């Protein structure tokens, strides 16, 4: 596979991935690919239809006729499922856990990975998720893994939900974060882990601006190197 102009940003939930991915995509004029939103949409549909979240075959059947569209919308992403705008409905903590459950099914991962690769085909994409640097785009040019202490991630997620006018209990959120980390890291299929060549950034004590600046510097540096050594870039 050719080296693609793709930036992958993986890591656990609450590490600042989505805000940072959006800012980097906007800065570089790239498309932002929110792979977590896709798993959330699959979970949403399965729950609505009353499908057993651990039944891979039933989920695969459901996916055969799924009509899922991610539409860039003023720096954000509109998620349209079978003509319904579910952008807000999938952003709850409950949907995060449901997404994590369906994401452990091989049939679901295979289908969504294929959809993600299709979106990435033309390059110019910032892909955000858990396995974008390891499985979806293993030959991406720039890979990052954003991490932060669970307590800090819980604090950020609580603030984020409250800003949206939703109720949030920080301790409950911390427990959910720890549980979801365990599920995402412990699963045998596409577990949450940094790609061997990913740059790991601990964002616990960094501001969003610091992280974005650091990452853009890395991308720029790497772009300059490949301009000077074009044969090394492939
Ligand atoms: O990033 P997020 O919180 O929206 O992701 C929701 C869940 O989806 C996450 O707990 C695990 C799953 N997921 C995944 O398995 N692989 C991805 N590339 C993205 C998300």
**Pocket flag, ligand 1, residue 158 (CB < 6 Å):** no
Residue 15 backbone phi and psi in degrees, to 5: -85, 0
Q: Which long-range contacts (CB under 8 A, 24 or more apart) does 221-230 make?
A: 222/141, 222/142, 226/141
- What whole-number distance in Å separates Cα of residue 27 and Cα of residue 29? 6
In angstroms, what is the span from residue 158 Cα to ligand 1's centroid?
A: 18
Do 40 and 87 contact (CB within 8 A), yes or no?
no
Averaged pLDDT for residues 109-123? 94
**Pocket flag, ligand 1, residue 35 (CB < 6 Å):** yes
In angstroms, what is the span from residue 39 Cα to ligand 1's centroid?
A: 6
**Pocket flag, ligand 1, residue 40 (CB < 6 Å):** yes
User: Which parts of 79-137 fold into alpha helices (H)?
Assistant: 93-102, 106-120
Write down the pTM of the prediction: 0.91
pLDDT tens for 23-59 read 999 999 999 999 999 999 999 999 999 999 999 999 9
Query: To test the ligand 1 pocket, which listed residue (96, 98, 116) has its Cβ within 8 A of the most ligand atoms?
Result: 96
Query: To test the ligand 1 pocket, which listed residue (129, 137, 157, 187) has its Cβ within 8 A of the most ligand atoms?
Result: 129
Domains delineated in the chain:
4-219 (3.40.50.300)
231 pLDDT above the threshold of 60: no
Under the banding of pLDDT at 50, 70 and 90, the label for residue 205 is very high
Which atom, in ligand 1's list, is nearest to the CA of 183? 10
Q: Provide the pLDDT for residue 224.
A: 79
Helix (H, G, I), strand (E, B) or coil at 164: coil
Which atom, in ligand 1's list, is nearest to the CA of 96? 6
Do 41 and 96 contact (CB within 8 A), yes or no?
no
pLDDT tens for 165-190 read 888 899 999 998 998 888 888 888 88
User: Which parts of the chain fold into alpha helices (H)?
Assistant: 17-28, 35-49, 56-64, 93-102, 106-120, 150-163, 170-186, 208-228, 230-233
1 pLDDT above the threshold of 60: no
Query: Left, alpha or beta for 207 (phi > 0: left; psi -120 to 50: alpha)?
Result: beta
């Amino acid at each position: 596979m050719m080296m693609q102009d793709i930036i992958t940003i993986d890591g656990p939930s609450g590490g600042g991935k989505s805000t940072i991915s959006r800012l980097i995509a906007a800065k570089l004029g790239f498309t932002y690919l929110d792979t977590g939103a896709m798993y959330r949409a699959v979970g949403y549909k399965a729950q609505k239809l009353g499908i057993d979240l651990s039944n891979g075959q039933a989920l695969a059947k459901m996916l055969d006729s799924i009509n899922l569209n991610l539409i860039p919308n003023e720096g954000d992403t509109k998620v349209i499922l079978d003509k319904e705008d579910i952008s807000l409905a999938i952003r709850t903590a409950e949907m995060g856990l449901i997404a994590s459950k369906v994401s452990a099914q091989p049939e679901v991962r295979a289908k969504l990975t294929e959809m993600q690769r299709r979106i990435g085909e033309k390059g110019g994409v910032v892909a955000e998720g858990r396995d974008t640097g390891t499985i979806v785009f293993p030959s991406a040019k720039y890979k990052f893994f954003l991490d932060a202490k669970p307590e800090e991630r819980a604090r950020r997620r609580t603030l984020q939900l409250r800003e949206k006018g939703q109720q949030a209990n920080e301790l409950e959120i911390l427990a959910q974060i720890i549980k979801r980390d365990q599920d995402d890291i412990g699963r045998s299929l596409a577990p949450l882990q940094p790609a061997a060549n990913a740059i790991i950034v601990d964002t616990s004590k960094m501001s969003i601006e610091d992280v974005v600046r650091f990452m853009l510097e890395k991308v720029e540096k790497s772009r300059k190197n490949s301009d000077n050594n074009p044969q090394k870039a492939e």
